[in-house]
Amino acid sequence: MDAGKSGDQFETPVKYLKMVGPRRAEQLARLKIFNVHDLLYHFPREYLDRSRTVSPFGQENGANVTVRGTVISAQETKPRRNLTITRAALDSERGVFYGVWFNQSHVKKVLRPGTELLVSGKLDLGFGAVQVQVHDFEVLNQNGDLLHAGRMVPVYHATTGLSQRMMRSFTYAALEQWEKNYTEFLPRWLMERENLVPISVALRQIHFPDHRENAMEARRRFVFEEFFIIQLQLLKLRQNLTRVQKTHIYAKDNGLQQAYISGLKFELTEAQQRVTGEIMADLDKPYPMNRLLQGDVGSGKTVVAILALLRAVEGGMQGAFMAPTEVLAEQHFLSLTASLEPLGVNVALLRGGMPAKERRALIERIAIGDIAVIVGTQALLQYDVSFKNLALAVIDEQHRFGVRQRAILQEKSVQPDVLIMTATPIPRTLSMTVYGDLDMSVIDTMPPGRQPVRTYYVSPGELPRVFQFVDEQVKTGRQAFVICPLVEESEKMDLQAAEELYTQLIENELRLCRVDLLHGRMPGNEKEAVMHKFRAGETQVLVSTTVIEVGVDVPNANVMVIIDADRFGLAQLHQLRGRVGRGGGEAHCILAARLRTKEAAERIRAMKASNDGFYLAEKDLQIRGPGDVTGVRQSGLPEFKIADLVRDQDLLQVARRRAEELLRSDPNLESEENRSLKEHLHRLRQRENFYHIS
Ligand code: ADP
Ligand code: MG
C-alpha cells in the first residue's frame, strides 16, 4: 500500500468532489465539513426504510409508500402565486397513478415519458385518482445505485441550502471515489478481538446500508472507534503529564492561606478541607496536577480554588483563574480583589473588549510578573498572553474545556498545575471514562444552614400571580431573577422576547420595582454594569437570558422565575436554580411552562423532587431517549459524533480497557502493527490545531 496516499481523504477539500464546488463547499463548512474525511464521518442521524416497493392500489389513505412507475406525461400548474404543482401520470403494473410535487419545478426536466421512477411519499386518495405526494424519488433506468428511494435511505443533519438529496449525492460521490483506498487505521489485533467491520465496508454500510443490521454493525464500529480514540488521547495526555518534571516549587510556609482563612466569615466545611488537602498534596508532587473538582452548585468551590492560588502567590509565582463568560470573570475578579488585595496580592482582569493600549500594558505587567493572579475568559489562552511564571491555572465551570485547551496551557509555560472546577455532576458510572485523564475531588456536602430551594410548577397563565409574589419578596428586601430562554438558532428573536417581557414587567406587574435587563448581545462593559448594580442591590429584579446560568453568586437573591422551563434541560434548570438561596433563608424557584412532552413533565417533576445535582444527573440520563444529542449538550457531558454515552456505555468500558492495554504494551505506539493508528492520531491532532485553534 502506498503510505503517502493513505492520508489523501483527510486533505482533499470537499469542493473537489463531483457536484460539490465552491458554493456548496461553503455550505458544508457550516456543518464543519471541510474535507472528504469530514464528509464521510458526517454520519446519518437516522434511516428511512424505503426498501420495500408496493403497489399504490389497495392501500390506505395517508400511508407512506414507495412505488415504482413509468412516466406517461407530466404537467405543471400554478394555481396561486407561490405555488407550483408538478403532476406526472405514472404507469404501474396495476394501472395509472399520479405523482405530485409542490414547488419543485426543477423535477419537470427528469419527468420525460418513458423514464422509470421510484417515488416515496404519502398516499392521497382524496379525489378518486390514486396520488402520491412525493417526498423523494429516484430515476431507475440510469446505471448506478439507488440513493433516495427503493432502499434504506440515510437522513443527515443538514443546513440551509443543502437538501437531503444533495447530502446523499455528495456522500455517495465521496464513497465511490474514496472508499477503496481508505486505509484501515485500527490495528488488526483490535479489529479481530472486537469483531469490528473494516473501515471501507463500514463507511459504505453506515451511509447506504443493505439492511438495518448492517447499518447497526457499521455504527458499532464507529462508536467503538470514537470511544477508543478519545480514551487513547486522554490516557496519552495523562501519561505525558506524569512524565513531566515540574520546574516550579511551592513554598512550604502558608501564611497567606492562614490570613485568608481567618478573614472568612465562615468555617470551611469538612469536604472543603478534604479536597483542599488533596489539591495541596498534588501541588507538592513532581509532576503537574490535573484535577477535576466536582461540587454541586453553591457548595463552595471558589474558596478552595483561592487557597490553591495563594499557594502559588506565596511562592512568588502566578496563578490564572479562567471563567467561561465575561460576566463570571468579572464576578470572580471582584470577589478575588476584595479578599486578596488586603493581603497585598495583585489581581487583574483581562477583559474581552479592552482598548488595545490598556491591554498591552496589562499584558506587559503579566509578562514581568507584576500581577500575581490573572482573571479572564479563554482569552487568557491567546497567543500574545505570556506569563512570567504561571504555576497554577484554575478553570471554572468548564466541563467542556477540552483536552486540546489543556494541552495549550501546558505548552504555554512551565507545565502549570491545572484545576478544573465543575458543578456538572457526572454520574459515577461515567466519570472514570469520560474524564479518564483527570484525578477527581468531590465536595459532597453543602455549607451548613442552606435550605433547599422550594420549587414550584406553574402554567404560563399563572404568571401574573407569580410576578405579584416577586413584587412581595422584593418589598421584604430580597432580589429576584426572571429567566427567558435562549435558543441557539435565533439569538435575535430571543432577545426580542426578553425585551418584550422586560417592557411588560416594568409597565405592569413590577412597575414599583427596580428592574434591569441582561442579555448575551450586550457589550461586555454594559453587562458588567448591569451585574454590578444587581450585586450592589441597586436593582431588585434582573430579567435575563441564560447568560446568567453558571456561577453567578448574589447571596441576597432568593427568587428565580424561569419562563418556558420546558425548553431547558435538567442540568441547566438545576444550574439556574442554584443562583438563589446562596445567602441562607427561604428561597423559591418557579418553573413556568407548557408541558407539551412527557419528557418535559418528567424534568419538572424531578426538579420538584430534588435539589441534589447527582440525583438529577442520573435522572437526566434516564429521561433522555437514546440518541438525544441536545440532551447530552445540556448535561455538560462531552459531545460525540456518533456515540451515545448512555446507550453505548458497555462499548465505552471495553474501549477504555483496550486503550489501557495498548498503552501498557506499546506506550509510544512504536510497533509496526500500531503504526497506522499512530499516524491517524497524529493527523487528528494536526487537524484540530488547524480548525479549532488558529
Ligand atoms: P460554587 O461551588 O457554586 O462555585 P461558591 O464558591 O460560589 O459556590 O460559594 C457559594 C456561596 O457559599 C458563596 O457565597 C460563598 O461565600 C459561600 N460559602 C462557601 N463556603 C462556605 C462555608 N464553608 N460556609 C458558609 N458559606 C460558604
Ligand atoms: Mg462557582
> pLDDT tens digit string along 376-396?
987 787 767 888 999 999 988
- Alpha carbon of 578 to those of 196, 442, 564, 623: distances in Å? 45, 17, 18, 21
CA of 423 to the centre of ligand 1 (A): 12
In the chain, pLDDT over 90 holds for what percent of residues?
47
Per-residue confidence (pLDDT) for residue 323, from 0 to 100: 87
Give the end-to-end CA distance of the chain in Å, rounded to a whole number: 33
Which residues are within 5 Å of ligand 2 (an ion), measured at CB? 551
In terms of CATH architecture, what is 454-610? 3-Layer(aba) Sandwich (3.40)
Tens of pLDDT, residues 278-315: 999 999 999 889 898 988 878 899 999 999 999 999 99
- CATH 2.40.50.140 residue ranges of the chain are 52-150
Closest-approaching ligand to the CA atom of 293: 1
Three-state secondary-structure class, residue 459: coil
> Alpha-carbon distance 646 to 634, whole Å?
14
Per-residue confidence (pLDDT) for residue 652, from 0 to 100: 86
Per-residue confidence (pLDDT) for residue 3, from 0 to 100: 35
CA of 255 to the centre of ligand 2 (A): 25
Tens of pLDDT, residues 148-182: 888 899 999 887 788 898 999 999 999 998 888 78
In terms of CATH architecture, what is 52-150? Beta Barrel (2.40)
pLDDT band at 619 (very low <50, low <70, confident <90, very high): confident
- H-type alpha helices, 457-584: 463-475, 491-507, 524-535, 570-577
CATH code at 255-443: 3.40.50.300
- Alpha carbon of 508 to those of 166, 468, 501, 539, 557: distances in Å? 51, 10, 10, 17, 22
pLDDT band at 635 (very low <50, low <70, confident <90, very high): very low
Q: Which three cell numbers stand for residue 287?
A: 509532576
Q: Which three cell numbers stand for residue 161?
A: 441550502
The DSSP letter of residue 180 is G
Per-residue confidence (pLDDT) for residue 550, from 0 to 100: 58
Per-residue confidence (pLDDT) for residue 434, from 0 to 100: 63
pLDDT band at 1 (very low <50, low <70, confident <90, very high): very low
Cα 169 to chain center, whole Å? 28
Nearest residue (by CA) to ligand 1, atom 23, is 268
Cβ atoms of residues 133 and 120 within 8 Å: no
Residue 8 confidence (pLDDT) above 90: no
Per-residue confidence (pLDDT) for residue 281, from 0 to 100: 95
Sheet containing 588-592: give its strands across.
454-458, 588-592, 557-562, 479-483, 541-544, 515-518
Query: Strands 479-483 and 347-350: what pairing?
Result: unpaired
Q: How many CB atoms lie within 10 A of CB 472?
A: 11
pTM value is 0.66
Per-residue confidence (pLDDT) for residue 636, from 0 to 100: 47
pLDDT band at 7 (very low <50, low <70, confident <90, very high): very low
Per-residue confidence (pLDDT) for residue 551, from 0 to 100: 60
Nearest residue (by CA) to ligand 1, atom 12, is 300
Cα 630 to chain center, whole Å? 8
268 or 523, which is more confident? 268
CA of 272 to the centre of ligand 1 (A): 10
List, in sequence order, every residue forming a beta bridge with 69; answer none if it has no partner.
117
Return the sign of the alpha-carbon dihedral for residues 668, 672, 674, 678. Answer: positive
Tens of pLDDT, residues 56-74: 888 888 999 999 899 999 9
Q: Which three cell numbers stand for residue 581?
A: 438561596
Nearest residue (by CA) to ligand 1, atom 9, is 300
Kind plus residue range of the DSSP H or E element containing 306: helix 301-314
Per-residue confidence (pLDDT) for residue 484, from 0 to 100: 87
CA of 343 to the centre of ligand 2 (A): 22
CA of 639 to the centre of ligand 1 (A): 30
> Alpha-carbon distance 129 to 548, whole Å?
58
Nearest residue (by CA) to ligand 1, atom 20, is 300
**Ligand 1 atom nearest to 305, measured from its CA:** 6
Q: Which of 266, 331, 535 to mutate to test the pocket of ligand 1 (most atoms within 8 A of CB)?
A: 266
Tens of pLDDT, residues 95-139: 899 999 999 888 998 899 988 898 999 999 877 789 999 998 888
- CATH 3.40.50.300 residue ranges of the chain are 255-443, 454-610
Q: Which of 553, 577, 580 to mutate to test the pocket of ligand 1 (most atoms within 8 A of CB)?
A: 553
Q: Which of 297, 333, 576, 582 to mutate to test the pocket of ligand 1 (most atoms within 8 A of CB)?
A: 582
Closest-approaching ligand to the CA atom of 580: 1
- The string over 427-461, giving b where at least 16 C-beta atoms fall within 10 Å of a residue's C-beta and e elsewhere, is beebbebbbbbbeebbbebbbeebeebebbbbeee
> Alpha-carbon distance 248 to 312, whole Å?
9
For ligand 1, is residue 269 a contact (CB within 6 Å)? yes
Tell me the pLDDT of the chain averaged across its residues: 85
Cβ atoms of residues 116 and 143 within 8 Å: no
pLDDT band at 692 (very low <50, low <70, confident <90, very high): very low
pLDDT band at 691 (very low <50, low <70, confident <90, very high): very low
Q: Which three cell numbers stand for residue 443?
A: 465536595
Half-sphere exposure of 211 (CA within 13 A, CB side): 3
Return the CA Rg of the chain: 29
For ligand 1, is residue 6 a contact (CB within 6 Å)? no
- Alpha carbon of 320 to those of 119, 177, 536, 656, 687: distances in Å? 61, 49, 26, 32, 28
In the chain, pLDDT over 70 holds for what percent of residues?
88
**Ligand 1 atom nearest to 578, measured from its CA:** 3
Q: How many CB atoms lie within 10 A of CB 73?
A: 11
| Residue that has been written with the C-alpha cell 438563589 in this structure | 580
CA of 298 to the centre of ligand 1 (A): 5
Q: What is the mean pLDDT of the segment spanning 198-224? A: 95
